[in-house]
């Protein structure tokens, strides 16, 4: 559906005269006979065979990748200007602004414009970060025969991601009758980005880290390579200060694939319009549902909705108004949701939730938002290493004696179990 002229006018200060719209039609991915996944689809410089049994998976560590830069062997060509990055914190990141001159990519005077690569089916997708999200992105993009390179400096993260992909990719491809692509792991950024048609940054919500990663991807990737950040807290405009080819930079906000299939695309203010149509088509081919957020000054769509729910939920928990299990129960009952807000925060990671909320409150410090709920979350959970599913304990997550994550029962459920009567024999 065309976007109205008033909508274009509202964002004219950020966008040129065009507005990217995902208009391409969904195309079914090639349907191939499902086959068992062999170890040939995985490679690693230090490991050739991988356990795929559930016991090994439960023992494997699952760190959300720690800071990925910056040994000389892993990231090269770091510009002198990137030293400024260390001065950036989550409190002042929102003050970052790109150059005043707007880059109108529809103008004939534009020196560089994005052109799509010739055949992306044979070019790899580079996933930067093998953590909770990165491994899921690798599985999704490899699910239709595409090659995928996964980069991380942590060998334990690579080992854990390998087990996850080996356990899930075959089942996913069998379900949709597709054939898996080859997933390759590396601890060298240039190696991961070599000949990639898209590089997706999926590292922790640390602005200094993200800016450094995007800067280096800008230097080591092909000019046609799309550079995407998955940040939920920071816009690609805020993270673009060290990127010279901004016409290929954008936000692509995935949630928890493959369960959540929606992906939000948002410009950094300079992104080539052709990228949105092209990337939307590629996403539809792997059964994702892309949508474009048209105003990068106000942020992406669902994070604004989710932020309000999350903020009020944490405030109630801080004040003891309700148990997390009861809040989730109400959501499941009223909205038919599989998970409530507390369980979703555990899935995302309470450290990630904390970073996102801290950044939002820093931008809204004059709007009267309290910070008590954030301090409570930091003191009672994040500061004690209770990060949700990734650590085995969170708002509703806990682990049993076998290390398996289970849902904690609410006080009401515990009372019911204690006083219930077995009527099966009556």
Record the pTM.
0.65
Q: Which CATH number fits domain 303-410: 3.20.20.210, 1.10.1040.10, 3.40.190.10, 2.40.30.10?
A: 1.10.1040.10
For 387-398, what is the mean pLDDT?
90
For 120-128, what is the mean pLDDT?
96
- Closest CA relative to residue 298, chosen from 2, 5, 7: 7
Rounded distance between C-alpha atoms, residue 107 and residue 103, angstroms: 9
Least confident of 1-5, 255-259, 272-276: 1-5
Instruction: Kindly give the interhelix angle for 350-363 and 372-380, rounded to the nearest 10 degrees.
Output: 160
Rounded distance between C-alpha atoms, residue 319 and residue 123, angstroms: 52
What pLDDT is stored for residue 50 in this prediction?
A: 30
Instruction: Name, in order, each residue with C-beta under 8 angstroms of 259's C-beta and a sequence gap of 6 or more.
Output: none
- Secondary structure class of 127 (helix, strand, coil): strand
What pLDDT is stored for residue 314 in this prediction?
A: 96
Whether 187 has a pLDDT exceeding 80, the answer reads yes
3-42 pLDDT, tens per residue? 444 333 333 333 333 333 333 333 333 333 334 444 444 4
Q: What is the mean pLDDT of the chain?
A: 76
Q: pLDDT category, 398, cuts 50, 70, 90?
A: confident
Pairwise pLDDT comparison (407 vs 164), residue with the higher score? 164
Q: Give kind and range of the element (H or E) at residue 18.
A: none
Least confident of 50-54, 110-114, 174-178, 413-417: 50-54
For 360-369, what is the mean pLDDT?
76
Q: Give kind and range of the element (H or E) at residue 224.
A: none
Q: pLDDT category, 415, cuts 50, 70, 90?
A: very low
Q: Which is the CATH superfamily of the domain at 16-293?
A: NAD(P)-binding Rossmann-like Domain (3.40.50.720)
226-229/397-399 β-pairing: unpaired
For 144-166, what is the mean pLDDT?
96
The position carrying tokens 């050739």 is 48
What pLDDT is stored for residue 363 in this prediction?
A: 77
- What residue segments make up the domains of the chain, in order of their start? 16-293, 303-410
What is the length of the chain? 426
Whether 293 has a pLDDT exceeding 70, the answer reads yes
For 194-214, what is the mean pLDDT?
95
Whether 70 has a pLDDT exceeding 70, the answer reads no
Question: CA torsion 353→356→361→362, rounded to 10°?
Answer: 140
Q: pLDDT category, 366, cuts 50, 70, 90?
A: low
Whether 163 has a pLDDT exceeding 70, the answer reads yes
Rounded distance between C-alpha atoms, residue 356 and residue 82, angstroms: 23
208-221 pLDDT, tens per residue? 999 999 999 999 99
- Secondary structure class of 196 (helix, strand, coil): coil
The b-or-e profile of 323-354 (16+ CB within 10 A means b, else e) is: bbbbbbbebeeeeeeebbbbbbbbbbbbbbbb
Percent share of the chain, pLDDT over 90: 53
């Amino acid at each position: 559906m065309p976007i109205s002229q008033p909508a274009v006018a509202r964002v004219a200060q950020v966008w040129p005269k065009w507005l990217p719209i995902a208009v391409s039609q969904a195309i079914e991915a090639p349907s191939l006979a499902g086959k068992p996944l062999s170890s040939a689809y995985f490679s690693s410089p230090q490991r050739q065979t991988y356990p795929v049994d559930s016991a090994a998976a439960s023992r494997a560590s699952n760190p959300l990748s720690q800071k990925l830069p910056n040994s000389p062997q892993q990231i090269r060509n770091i510009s002198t200007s990137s030293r400024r990055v260390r001065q950036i914190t989550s409190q002042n990141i929102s003050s970052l602004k790109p150059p005043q001159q707007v880059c109108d990519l529809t103008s004939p005077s534009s020196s560089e414009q994005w052109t799509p690569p010739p055949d992306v089916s044979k070019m790899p997708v580079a996933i930067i970060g093998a953590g909770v999200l990165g491994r899921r992105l690798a599985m999704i993009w490899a699910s239709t025969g595409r090659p995928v390179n996964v980069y991380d400096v942590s060998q334990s993260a690579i080992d854990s991601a390998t087990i996850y992909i080996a356990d899930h990719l075959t089942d996913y491809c069998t379900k949709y009758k597709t054939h898996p692509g080859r997933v390759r792991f590396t601890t060298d950024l240039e190696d991961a980005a070599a000949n990639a048609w898209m590089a997706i940054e999926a590292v922790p919500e640390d602005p200094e880290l993200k800016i450094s990663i995007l800067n280096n991807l800008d230097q080591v990737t092909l000019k046609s390579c799309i550079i995407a950040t998955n940040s939920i807290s920071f816009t690609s405009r805020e993270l673009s200060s060290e990127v010279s080819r901004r016409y290929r930079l954008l936000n692509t906000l995935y949630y928890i694939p493959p369960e959540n299939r929606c992906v939000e695309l948002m410009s950094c203010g300079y992104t080539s319009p052709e990228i949105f149509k092209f990337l939307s088509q590629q996403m539809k081919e792997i059964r994702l549902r892309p949508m474009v957020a048209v105003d990068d000054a106000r942020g992406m769509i669902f994070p604004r909705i989710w932020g309000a729910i999350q903020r009020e939920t944490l405030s109630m928990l801080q004040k003891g108004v309700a148990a997390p299990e009861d809040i989730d129960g109400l959501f499941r009952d009223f909205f038919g949701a599989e998970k409530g807000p507390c369980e979703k925060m555990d899935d995302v990671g309470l450290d990630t939730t904390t970073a996102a909320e801290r950044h939002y409150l820093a931008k809204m410090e004059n709007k009267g938002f309290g910070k008590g709920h954030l301090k409570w979350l930091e003191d009672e959970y994040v500061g004690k290493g209770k990060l949700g599913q990734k650590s085995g304990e969170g708002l509703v997550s806990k682990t049993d004696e076998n290390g398996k994550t289970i849902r904690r029962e609410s006080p009401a459920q515990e009372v019911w179990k204690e006083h219930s009567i077995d009527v099966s024999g009556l």
